[in-house]
């Protein structure tokens, strides 16, 4: 208990995090949204249908459980992935390590402070969940089990994020690797939880999940402890100089070689001589020096995890079933995660590292600087994303159904490229609008979630609010989402789902406009990118003068 | 070379700089001194084209700081008080980056980088990573970056801050070297004794107001009427000569320190009056070991100005 009660790290973080108006407002808004959901789903007076309230209760329970599970998966890394990297970025990490605090105390302080607010949010939904219980049809043990799963998930995702935070030196790297590890686990969790087999659900959540989770926690805690006990030599000024060649010697799995294809596409070799005349020095610096300035670990993990995940997805969506749209959705998700890492810190890091003033007093114009930052981010994120499309090309070569409609590969590639442009542009825009990289990255992710996923939610909501409106009109709501765009490309001949129709049932809701939807979606993506670029340019010009307003 | 007219910068209710006027001639080394938060860095950032003024105007080599910042950037080399370096870059890459940013052709870049590395004694660090350099080396590197486009005006904000005594001394030699090269330098520093060695003029700023500006000699002249004479004698009882000071027309507020056997007083007279005082004391039997004017250092000037003794 002393580790929690007398933990200075925990006390300080809780004090800073919970005393802000923002924390209160966020909780208020969250509870308000939940209350609205309950109000909308509550059976109307006079609704005498047998089981109306039971079905409403089940609907509410599912909404709360899945909604909060997704919330935990998305929010836990934003709270925890910056817990230790934040100390490194603020240059207080060494002070913490040099204090008499044991690593376990630091870990507990960081983990609890990161997750306390999230747990508070979760428990603020309990009264609403109990209201659902009062409607009938849900057992109290189900409610308790749901919260057990949510807390175990919060702990696991939080610990994974703190572990990433202890291994990387930048919050952006820790965040993206955390998401890459957490999102597949979360999707698997939702899949298991959605089974109708009550006994299987009980077995998984009560018998299987707790011991496995605790075992995972033990391993992760041991790893973090080890890292905190024996941190790498941080060198002078708290910064380590990365020797790429030395690092590559000890690399496990993928090794990045700047001289080889395709690695040299996103990381051109370091210069051995002066830049040629007419080179944009910012673009050159970003690609040749900055990309691996913190080492190659993050990129190696990202490439390996994404490739590993792509294997079953490729088998399922490209070879077993003919559903390339779904595989493209995975590629888009990867781009959603990775794109912002290279753009959302582009300008904020110049400020944080105190190099912005050096840059702004040169003859480089804001337009040139911003363009170079966008081109660098776009190049790296596009090449990394395209690495996952080798499987698509392979499927179009080997699978007969896809061979017969090979032209459909073109819209898929256009959709991916447009998505790369959007993710990089949005990241850069946020980087020019806010002061901290961590804020910029989270704002970018939220904007992208809004763009990628929210249209589907709005469509579902519109279906219930405007039941009279024809479905094919309401479906246009989904157009801005690149996912909708990918799923709208008409594919014929899924051998498992073909029932006389030319498209699979899953893709059918979006197939109403066939070719048109992805074209319009592409237009929207380009428009968003253009707006982002203009906002970035204006914001950067404004900050050009207001670079350091504080005295 | 540098002209500032009625520069005012306000942050909300806080007045950072209030109606500052400044003129620095070509080849001058102007020391900008003042306590923390006085408005030095605000003025320097304004001149470096990084800050929009609330009102007022600045001109460097005839170019308007507010209307033609690009032209100003061509003629200035700016070294901020707090700066970082890019990760994953070697020393020569760092200099090449800024040389390209200043549009220097490749053919000239090779020579210039070699020269600035030699001038700043960084040649042996050419292939080292910049984020692995020590604080002193980074300061030198930043000064090297400031010189790559050979600007006639250098604006240096606290170039010696945080350096150890040796690095500080080396920085002083470097600035002296730059002075010999004919650069006009505006330099701010807390280490006033360093500025005194090579500055041709100084400006004292406090709470956003320029309290004094001009050559060190001119400012010291203003303080002349308050100079202090110190007489050290070998006689057992120095008090017996106090009456001579009291009766002399040029002396005010005499005092005696019997332990150190010194007499001191504010002296308002000229050279002959000073010689007359010495003669009177010797005639009275004083064995004078030292008869000297107390030196007024730049620190004293600064303290006296900021205390309101002189304006």
Cβ partners under 8 Å of residue A299, min gap 6 = A256, A291, A292, A384
- Please indicate whether residue A541 or residue A527 has the higher confidence score (pLDDT): A527
Measured between beta carbons, the chain A residues lying within 8 angstroms of B82 are 354
Residue of chain B whose alpha carbon sits nearest to that of A271: B93
CB-nearest to A289 from B45, B86, B101 is: B86
* Most confident listed range (A55-69, A127-141, A334-348): A334-348
- Position B170 scores a pLDDT of 80
The alpha-carbon gap from B254 to the nearest alpha carbon of chain A, in Å, equals 45
B122: burial class by Cβ within 10 Å (0-12, 13-18, 19+)? buried
Decide if A361 and B87 are in contact by the 8 Å CB cutoff. Answer: no
Going by C-alpha positions, the residue among A465, A517, A457 that lies closest to residue A487 is A517
In the structure, what pLDDT confidence band is assigned to residue A412 with cuts at 50, 70 and 90? very high
Q: Give the per-residue pLDDT at A51.
A: 58
What CA–CA distance (Å, rounded) separates B183 from B25? 11
Which of the residues A173, A274, A347 would you substitute to probe the B interface, choosing the one with the greatest number of B C-beta atoms within 10 Å?
A274
Q: Which chain A residues are within 8 Å of B110, Cβ to Cβ? A: 274
Contacts for B295-301: CB closer than 8 Å, 24+ residues apart = B296/B220, B296/B223, B296/B227, B297/B192, B297/B193, B297/B196, B298/B33, B298/B192, B298/B193, B298/B195, B298/B196, B298/B202, B298/B216, B299/B192, B299/B193, B300/B223, B301/B202, B301/B204, B301/B212, B301/B216, B301/B219, B301/B220, B301/B223
Residue A505 confidence (pLDDT) above 60: no
CB nearest A354 (choices: B84, B89, B103)? B84
Q: What is the pLDDT of residue A243?
A: 63
Q: Give chain B positions within 8 Å (CB) of A241.
A: 129, 131-132
Mean pLDDT over residues A141-151, rounded?
A: 87
The verdict on a CB contact (< 8 Å) between B132 and A235 is yes
pLDDT, residue A23, reads 76
**Does residue B213 or residue B162 have the better pLDDT?**
B213
What is the chain A residue with the closest CA to B142?
A358
**Measuring CA to CA, how many Å separate A29 from each of A16, A72, A121, A337, B79?**
20, 17, 10, 26, 47
Residue B150 pLDDT greater than 70, yes or no: yes
Q: What is the mean pLDDT of residues A188-206?
A: 77
Copy the structure tokens of residue A29. 């808004």
B2-221 CATH: 3.40.50.300
Q: What is the pLDDT of residue B309?
A: 45
- What is the nearest CA distance from B21 to chain A, expressed in angstroms? 20
Residues of chain B with CATH 3.30.70.100: 228-295
Q: Is the ipTM of this complex over 0.85?
A: no
Q: Is the confidence at residue A6, as pLDDT, over 70?
A: yes
Choose the closest CB to A361 out of B48, B86, B103: B48
User: To the nearest whole angstrom, how far is the Cα of B65 from the nearest Cα of chain A?
Assistant: 11
State the DSSP H helix or E strand holding residue A259, giving kind and residue range, or none if neither: none
Read off the pLDDT of residues A98-109 as tens digits, 9 standing for 90 and up: 777 888 888 888
Q: Which of A17-26, A105-114, B115-124, B220-229 has the highest mean pLDDT?
A: B115-124
What's chain A's Rg over C-alpha atoms? 25
Report whether pLDDT(A382) > 90. Answer: yes
Spans of all domains in chain A: 2-42+52-237, 242-545
H or E, element range at A240: none
Whole-angstrom CA distances from B107 to A161, A363, B110, B150, B245 are 49, 19, 6, 15, 72
Residue-wise pLDDT for A489-499, tens only, equals 877 765 544 44
Q: Is the pLDDT of residue B225 over 80?
A: no
pLDDT of residue B162: 72
B157 touches B125 (CB < 8 A) = no
Q: Which two tokens stand for residue B287?
A: 């064995």
B106 with A363: Cβ contact below 8 A: no
The number of beta carbons lying within 10 Å of the beta carbon of residue A477 is 19
Q: Is the pLDDT of residue B6 over 80?
A: yes
- If pLDDT is split at 50, 70 and 90, which confidence band does A508 have? very low
Measured distance CA(A533)–CA(A424) in Å, rounded: 10
**Chain B residue closest in CA terms to A241:** B132
pLDDT at site B60 = 93
Q: Is the peptide bond before B26 cis (omega within 30 degrees of 0)?
A: no
pLDDT reading at A152 higher than 80:
yes
Q: What are B34-86's pLDDT values in tens digits?
A: 888 888 889 999 999 888 889 999 999 999 998 888 899 999 999 988 888 88
- Reported as a pLDDT band with limits 50, 70 and 90, residue A248 is low
Q: A129, A59 in Cβ contact below 8 A?
A: no
Q: Indicate the fold that domain B228-295 takes in CATH.
A: Alpha-Beta Plaits (3.30.70)
Strands (E), A108-162: none
Nearest to B83 among A282, A357, A551 (CB): A357
pLDDT at B97 over 60: yes
Q: Between A and B, how many residue pairs show a Cβ–Cβ distance under 8 A?
A: 118
Say which of B83, B97, B110 has its CB closest to residue A354.
B83
**pLDDT level of residue A504 (50, 70, 90 thresholds):** very low
How confident is the model at residue A540, as a pLDDT?
A: 86
Across chain B, what does the average pLDDT equal?
A: 85
Contact residues, chain A, for B16 at CB < 8 Å: 551
pLDDT above 90 covers a percentage of chain A that reads: 18
Residue A36 three-state SS: helix
pLDDT tens column, B175-223: 888 888 888 999 987 767 777 777 888 888 888 888 888 887 777 666 5
pLDDT above 80 (res A246):
no
Contact B105 A239 (CB under 8 A): no
User: What pLDDT is recorded for position A44?
Assistant: 65
Phi, psi of B285 (to 5 degrees): 100, 10
Cα separation, B106 vs B98, whole angstroms: 12
How many whole angstroms from its chain centre is CA A520? 25
Is residue B12 classed as helix, strand or coil in its secondary structure?
coil
Q: Which residue of A has its CA nearest to B68?
A: A363
Pairing state of beta strands B251-257 and B262-267?
antiparallel
CB within 8 Å of A92: residues ≥ 6 apart: none
- CB A236 to CB B93 under 8 A? no
| Separation CA A476–CA A463 (nearest Å) | 12
- Closest partner residue to A363 (CB to CB) among B87, B103, B105 is B103
Q: Tell me whether residues B101 and A353 touch, CB distance under 8 A.
A: no
Q: Which residue on chain B is closest to A365 by alpha carbon?
A: B70
Nearest by CB to residue A360, choosing from B11, B50, B105, is B50
Q: Is the pLDDT of residue A423 over 90?
A: yes
Q: Distances from the Cα of A457 to the Cαs of A267, A471, B38, B86, B170, in angstroms?
A: 38, 15, 55, 43, 65
Determine whether the interchain pair B105/A277 forms a contact, defined as Cβ–Cβ distance below 8 Å: yes
Q: Structure tokens of B14?
A: 């806080």
Give the residue with greater pLDDT, A13 vs A523: A523
Mean pLDDT score, A56-68: 81
β-strand partners of A343: none
Q: Identify the burial level of B58 via C-beta atoms within 10 angstroms of its C-beta, where 0-12 means exposed, 13-18 middle and 19 or more buried.
A: buried
Q: Average pLDDT of B123-140?
A: 88
Rounded CA-CA distance A532/A523 in Å is 14
Looking at residue B104, its pLDDT comes to 92
Distance from CA of B148 to the nearest CA of A (A): 11
Taking 60 as the threshold, does the pLDDT of residue A319 lie above it? Answer: yes
**For residue A292, which residues of chain B lie inside 8 Å, CB to CB?**
88
Q: Enumerate the residues of chain A whose CB falls inside 8 A of the CB of residue B97.
A: 275, 281, 284-285
Contact between B73 and A361 using a beta-carbon 8 Å cutoff: yes
A369: nearest CA in chain B?
B101
- Closest alpha carbon within chain A to B146: A358
Q: Give me the sheet containing B184-188, strands edge to edge.
A: B76-79, B153-157, B184-188, B29-33, B201-206, B209-215
Q: In chain B, which residues have their Cβ closer than 8 Å to the Cβ of A238? A: none
Q: Do B51 and A360 touch (CB under 8 A)?
A: no
> Among residues of chain A, what percentage have pLDDT more than 70?
86
């Amino acid at each position: 208990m002393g580790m929690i009660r007398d933990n200075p790290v925990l006390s300080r973080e809780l004090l800073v995090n919970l005393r802000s108006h923002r924390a209160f407002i966020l909780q208020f808004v969250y509870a308000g949204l939940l209350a609205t959901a309950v109000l909308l789903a509550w059976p109307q007076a006079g609704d005498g249908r047998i089981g109306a309230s039971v079905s409403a209760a089940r609907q509410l329970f599912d909404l709360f459980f899945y909604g909060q599970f997704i919330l935990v998966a998305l929010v836990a890394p934003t709270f925890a992935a910056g817990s230790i990297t934040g100390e490194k970025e603020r240059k207080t990490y060494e002070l913490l390590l040099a204090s008499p605090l044991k690593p376990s105390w630091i870990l507990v302080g960081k983990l609890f402070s990161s997750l306390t607010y999230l747990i508070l949010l979760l428990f603020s939904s309990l009264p609403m969940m109990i209201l659902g219980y009062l409607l009938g049809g849900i057992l109290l043990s189900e409610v308790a089990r749901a919260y057990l799963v949510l807390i175990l998930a919060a702990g696991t995702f939080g610990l994974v994020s703190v572990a990433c935070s202890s291994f990387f030196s930048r919050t952006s790297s820790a965040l993206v690797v955390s998401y890459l590890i957490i999102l597949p686990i979360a999707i698997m969790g939702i899949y298991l939880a959605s089974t109708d087999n009550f006994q299987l659900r009980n077995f998984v959540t009560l018998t299987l999940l707790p011991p496995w989770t605790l075992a995972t926690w033990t391993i992760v805690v041991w790893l973090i402890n080890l890292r905190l006990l024996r941190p790498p030599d941080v060198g002078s000024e708290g910064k380590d100089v990365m020797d790429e060649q030395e690092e590559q010697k000890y690399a496990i799995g993928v090794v990045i070689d700047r001289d080889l294809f395709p690695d040299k596409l996103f990381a051109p070799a370091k210069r051995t001589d002066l830049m040629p005349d007419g080179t944009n020095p910012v673009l050159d610096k970003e690609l040749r020096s900055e990309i691996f300035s913190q080492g190659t670990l993050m990129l190696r993990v990202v490439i390996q995890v994404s490739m590993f995940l792509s294997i079953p997805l490729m088998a399922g969506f490209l070879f077993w079933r003919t559903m390339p749209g779904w595989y493209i959705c995975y590629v888009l998700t990867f781009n959603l995660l990775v794109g912002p890492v290279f753009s959302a810190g582009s300008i904020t890091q110049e400020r944080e590292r105190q190099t912005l003033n050096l840059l702004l007093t040169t003859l480089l114009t804001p337009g040139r600087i911003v363009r170079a930052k966008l081109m660098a981010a776009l190049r790296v994120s596009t090449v990394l994303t395209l690495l996952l499309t080798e499987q698509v090309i392979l499927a179009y070569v080997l699978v007969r159904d896809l061979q017969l409609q090979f032209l459909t590969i073109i819209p898929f590639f256009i959709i991916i490229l447009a998505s790369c442009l959007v993710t990089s542009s949005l990241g850069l825009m946020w980087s020019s609008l806010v002061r901290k990289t961590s804020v910029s990255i989270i704002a970018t992710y939220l904007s992208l979630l809004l763009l990628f996923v929210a249209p589907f939610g709005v469509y579902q909501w519109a279906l219930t609010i405007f039941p009279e409106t024809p479905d094919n009109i309401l479906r246009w709501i989904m157009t801005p989402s690149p996912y909708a765009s990918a799923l709208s490309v008409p594919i014929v001949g899924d051998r498992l789902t073909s029932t006389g129709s030319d498209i699979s049932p899953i893709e059918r809701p979006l197939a109403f406009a066939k070719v048109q939807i992805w074209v319009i979606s592409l237009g929207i993506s380009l428009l968003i990118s253009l707006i982002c670029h203009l906002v970035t340019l204006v914001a950067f010009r404004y900050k050009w003068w207001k670079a350091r307003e504080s005295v | 070379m540098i002209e500032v007219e009625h520069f005012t910068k306000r942050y909300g209710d806080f007045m950072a700089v209030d109606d500052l006027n400044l003129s620095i001639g070509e080849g001058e080394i102007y020391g900008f001194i003042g306590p923390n938060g006085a408005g030095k860095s605000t003025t320097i950032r304004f001149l470096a084209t990084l800050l929009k003024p609330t009102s007022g105007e600045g001109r460097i080599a005839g170019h308007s700081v507010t209307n033609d910042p690009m032209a100003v950037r061509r003629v200035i080399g700016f070294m901020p008080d707090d700066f970082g370096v890019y990760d994953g870059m070697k020393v020569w890459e760092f200099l090449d980056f800024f040389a390209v940013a200043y549009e220097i052709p490749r053919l000239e870049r090779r020579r210039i980088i070699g020269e600035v590395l030699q001038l700043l004694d960084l040649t042996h660090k050419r292939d080292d990573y910049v984020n692995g350099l020590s604080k002193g080396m980074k300061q030198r590197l930043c000064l090297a970056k400031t010189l790559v486009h050979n600007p006639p005006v250098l604006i240096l904000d606290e170039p010696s801050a945080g350096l150890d005594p040796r690095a500080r001394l080396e920085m002083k030699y470097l600035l002296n070297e730059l002075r010999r090269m004919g650069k006009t330098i505006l330099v701010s520093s807390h280490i006033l004794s360093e500025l005194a060695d090579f500055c041709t003029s100084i400006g004292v700023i406090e709470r956003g107001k320029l309290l004094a500006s001009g050559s060190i000699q001119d400012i010291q002249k203003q303080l002349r009427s308050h100079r202090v004479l110190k007489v050290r004698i070998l006689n057992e009882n120095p008090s017996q000569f106090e009456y001579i000071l009291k009766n002399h027309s040029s002396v005010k507020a005499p005092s005696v320190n019997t332990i150190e056997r010194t007499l001191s007083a504010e002296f308002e007279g000229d050279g002959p009056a000073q010689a007359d005082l010495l003669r009177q004391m010797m005639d009275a039997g004083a064995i004078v070991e030292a008869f000297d004017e107390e030196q007024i250092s730049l620190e004293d000037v600064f303290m006296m100005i900021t205390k309101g003794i002189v304006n």
